[in-house]
Structure 1
Amino acid sequence: MVMVIYIVSFIDKIEIIKINNELAGASTGNILISGRFM
């Protein structure tokens, strides 16, 4: 179960990196990261 959560969070991080690359905006990335992981 822990591995499943870890893999899902890892995929979420990859998606956030893709969004950051597309928008090229650090502030947008920070909002997404704080929204996902807090």
Structure 2
Amino acid sequence: KALKEGYRTGDIADYDAKEVVTCSEMGDIIAEYASK
């Protein structure tokens, strides 16, 4: 799944994720946010 453009949410913006990350890296970021 190409999620580069899909995560323009406030949480991800706060994460400074305007950098292009791989799907697995984005998954790790989402997982960390979800676990908090």
TM-score range (shorter-chain normalised) is 0.3 to 0.5
More helix by percentage: 1
Give the alignment's TM-score, normalised by structure 2.
0.45
Which protein has greater RCO, CA pairs closer than 8 Å, 6+ apart?
A: 2
Computing the radius of gyration from Cα coordinates, the structure with the larger value is 1
Give the alignment's TM-score, normalised by structure 1.
0.44
